[in-house]
């Protein structure tokens, strides 16, 4: 079933996944306040529904997301700034950060279905997803430098952590876009498929993830997200603590019982 969160974001339930599709194809799904509000509403809906095991972020039209809508950004820049107040542009970038941070820390797995160009803020949106599947012909890059901008949604940090310092600098300094295939084998894209296979490929990935313990996946995502910033002894200790806590869950008991009974587990998600 498809419904509208805002005019700029459409949601659809597909099996165990809630798909959020950016719906501004006339401006290559450029980010504005309405897009951010739609994504936030979609996160609320996915969080509240225990039947939703995976969140998928996709887009209508030929582009995934070309970053901030520069016409919208220009209109913000023209707004007067009262003394001591943040500019409208800065307030918008803060809202971008809040939404992207929430996607990154969302307790359920988040998959990006990249159907076309993902540049600037669009790349930053991909970077906060757990996994990205791209269609052949999709291109990804930072792009801020082309228009004299710098990242405001975390690319200067997340690109370094995902792809390494030199590759991140290359993408940021040149602003160049590269085919999705170039990112296979990196921490950015897990699969590249023909355009008409993008939705089925993501559906198959969702089906696999949806069979796993939601409680276990949430714990593993939290541990993995913190791993790079945590000293190894501390990280391993936290993992052990999380494992002990997980042992109290119904999901843990169901997994053990299913193994003993030689049957497929059906996790209640608690």
Predicted pLDDT at 75: 82
Joined tokens for residue 151: 């990242």
Domain definitions of the chain by residue range: 2-210, 214-261
Q: What is the pTM of this model?
A: 0.93
pLDDT, one tens digit per residue, over 6-27 is 789 999 999 999 999 999 999 9
- Report how far apart, in Å, the C-alpha atoms of 41 and of each of 98, 101, 157, 192 are: 13, 15, 26, 29
Predicted pLDDT at 87: 83
If you write DSSP's letter for every residue of 136-201 in order, what string do you get? TT-EEE--GGGGT---SSSHHHHHHHHH-HHHHHHHHHH---EEGGGGBTTTSBSEEE-GGGHHHH
- Report how far apart, in Å, the C-alpha atoms of 198 and of each of 59, 129, 253 are: 12, 16, 35
Predicted pLDDT at 154: 95
Element (H, E) at 225: helix 214-227
Expressed in angstroms, the distance from the first to the final Cα of the chain is: 26
**Sole residue written with tokens 């901008």:** 149
Predicted pLDDT at 145: 95
Residue ranges of the chain with per-residue pLDDT less than 50: none
Predicted pLDDT at 180: 98
Predicted pLDDT at 85: 61
Predicted pLDDT at 213: 97
- Average pLDDT for the chain: 94
In DSSP terms, which residues pair with 2 in a beta bridge? 12
- Alpha helix locations (H) across 63-137? 70-77, 88-105, 121-127
Predicted pLDDT at 82: 67
Quick one: 2-210 is in which CATH superfamily?
Answer: 2-enoyl-CoA Hydratase; Chain A, domain 1 (3.90.226.10)
Joined tokens for residue 216: 């276990």
Predicted pLDDT at 83: 61
**Sole residue written with tokens 């409680």:** 215
**Sole residue written with tokens 């930053």:** 124
Instruction: Please report, to the nearest 10 degrees, the dihedral formed by the alpha carbons of residues 129, 134, 139, 140 taken in order.
Output: 20
């Amino acid at each position: 079933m498809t419904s509208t969160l805002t005019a700029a974001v459409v949601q659809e339930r597909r099996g165990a996944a809630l798909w959020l599709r950016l719906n501004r194809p006339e401006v290559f799904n450029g980010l504005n306040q309405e897009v951010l509000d739609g994504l936030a509403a979609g996160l609320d809906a996915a969080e509240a529904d225990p039947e939703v095991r995976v969140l998928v972020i996709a887009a209508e039209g030929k582009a995934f997301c070309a970053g901030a809508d520069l016409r919208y950004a220009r209109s913000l820049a023209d707004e007067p700034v009262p003394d001591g107040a943040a500019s409208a542009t800065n307030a918008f970038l803060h809202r971008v950060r809040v939404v992207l941070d929430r996607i990154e820390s969302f307790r359920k797995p988040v998959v990006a279905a990249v159907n076309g160009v993902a540049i600037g803020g669009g790349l930053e949106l991909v970077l906060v997803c757990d996994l990205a599947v791209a269609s052949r012909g999709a291109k990804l890059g930072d792009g801020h430098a082309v228009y004299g901008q710098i990242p405001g949604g975390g690319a200067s940090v997340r690109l370094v952590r995902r792809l390494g310092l030199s590759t991140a600098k290359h993408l940021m300094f040149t602003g160049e876009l590269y085919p999705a295939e170039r990112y296979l084998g990196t921490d950015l894209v897990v699969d590249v498929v023909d355009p008409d296979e993008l939705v089925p490929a993501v559906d198959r990935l969702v089906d696999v993830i949806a069979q796993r313990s939601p409680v276990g996946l949430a714990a593993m995502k939290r541990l993995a997200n913190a791993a790079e910033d945590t000293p190894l002894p501390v990280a391993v200790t936290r993992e052990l603590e999380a494992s002990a806590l997980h042992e109290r869950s119904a999901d843990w008991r169901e997994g053990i019982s299913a193994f003993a009974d030689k049957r497929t587990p059906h996790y209640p998600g608690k």
